[in-house]
């Protein structure tokens, strides 16, 4: 069962996108569309150099997770955003040869000039959609990566989009390579009572909530993963609500 995830995220950006517009209650009961995501991302400012080195909230938990993983060789991060975690990994794990950070955010072309010189030789930033398979394969080539990171991304994807991303990852990984799928979204859908309470608030005029993605149960996630028989699915113990490792069978 899929349940919409209600969140107050990006409300200020909505007001910028739709100035002076009173949106109907129904709008707040629908997930973000791909166009809305793209428009919201276009509003994100270029981070400062200090912000790129500051681990907070989700990024701190993810960086701690990867500090316990022996990362080596070439790594691809899909939906990397500010790439704070990736910068931290490069600075603390010398066995990493390179990390390619992929995101559609407008600042991706500028990140290379903001990172410390000691990190710059191993980090590469690609401004493109994580679903643009022809472009990604052309830029980096097939079977080039030992590890793929998918951090705080899956809650924004439909089941089909997640499955397509795994198809692409299979083409980009070396045999025996791994995907790490991490997310802070709750494992289990929110209770019916909670959903009814949120819905009532929206219908009564509350304008703080907007579903930005999907909550899936562990069994539902594993069902999607197992549609890809070349991957061995491993649930990794961690402090994160969702942490899976998918190993591409040789």
Going by C-alpha positions, the residue among 127, 131, 126, 129 that lies closest to residue 161 is: 131
Q: Are strands 73-78 and 96-103 parallel, antiparallel or unpaired?
A: parallel
pLDDT above 80 for 195: no
Q: Which residues contact 157 (CB under 8 A, 6 or more apart)?
A: 165, 213, 214
Tens digit of each residue's pLDDT (9 = 90 or more) over 119-136: 788 999 999 999 899 999
Q: State residue 112's pLDDT score.
A: 86
Q: Which letter does DSSP use for residue 30 in this model?
A: S
Q: Which residues contact 212 (CB under 8 A, 6 or more apart)?
A: 5, 7, 9, 10, 31, 32, 155, 156
pLDDT above 50 for 103: yes
**In the predicted model, what is the mean pLDDT of the chain?**
80
Bigger pLDDT: 61 vs 198: 61
Q: State residue 5's pLDDT score.
A: 38
Q: Which residues contact 174 (CB under 8 A, 6 or more apart)?
A: 143, 144, 145, 146, 248
Q: Are strands 145-151 and 73-78 parallel, antiparallel or unpaired?
A: parallel
Res. 156 pLDDT band, cuts 50 70 90 = confident
Note whether 82 and 52 are within 8 A (CB).
Answer: yes
Bigger pLDDT: 46 vs 192: 46
Q: State residue 146's pLDDT score.
A: 98
Q: Which letter does DSSP use for residue 82 in this model?
A: T
Exposed / middle / buried, residue 127 (Cβ in 10 Å: 0-12, 13-18, 19+) = middle
**Cα gap 235→123, rounded to integer Å:** 28
Q: State residue 19's pLDDT score.
A: 59
């Amino acid at each position: 069962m899929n349940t919409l995830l209600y969140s107050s995220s990006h409300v200020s950006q909505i007001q910028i996108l739709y100035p002076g517009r009173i949106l109907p209650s129904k709008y707040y009961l629908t997930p973000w569309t791909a166009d809305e995501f793209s428009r919201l991302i276009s509003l994100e400012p270029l981070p400062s150099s200090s912000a790129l080195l500051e681990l907070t909230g989700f990024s701190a938990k993810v960086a701690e997770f990867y500090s316990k993983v022996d990362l080596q060789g070439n790594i691809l991060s899909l939906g990397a955003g500010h790439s704070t975690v990736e910068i931290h990994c490069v600075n603390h794990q010398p066995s990493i040869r390179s990390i390619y950070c992929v995101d559609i955010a407008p600042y991706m072309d500028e990140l290379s000039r903001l990172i410390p010189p000691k990190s710059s030789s191993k980090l590469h930033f690609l401004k493109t959609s994580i679903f643009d398979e022809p472009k990604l394969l052309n830029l980096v080539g097939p079977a080039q990566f030992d590890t793929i990171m998918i951090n705080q991304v899956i809650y924004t994807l439909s089941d089909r989009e997640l499955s397509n991303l795994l198809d692409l990852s299979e083409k980009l990984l070396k045999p025996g390579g791994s995907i790490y799928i991490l997310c802070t979204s709750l494992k289990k859908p929110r209770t019916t009572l909670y959903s009814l309470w949120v819905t009532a608030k929206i219908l009564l005029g509350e304008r703080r909530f907007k579903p930005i993605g999907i909550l899936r149960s562990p069994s539902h996630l594993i069902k999607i993963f197992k549609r890809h028989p070349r991957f061995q699915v491993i649930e990794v113990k961690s402090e994160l609500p969702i942490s899976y490792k998918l190993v591409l069978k040789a």
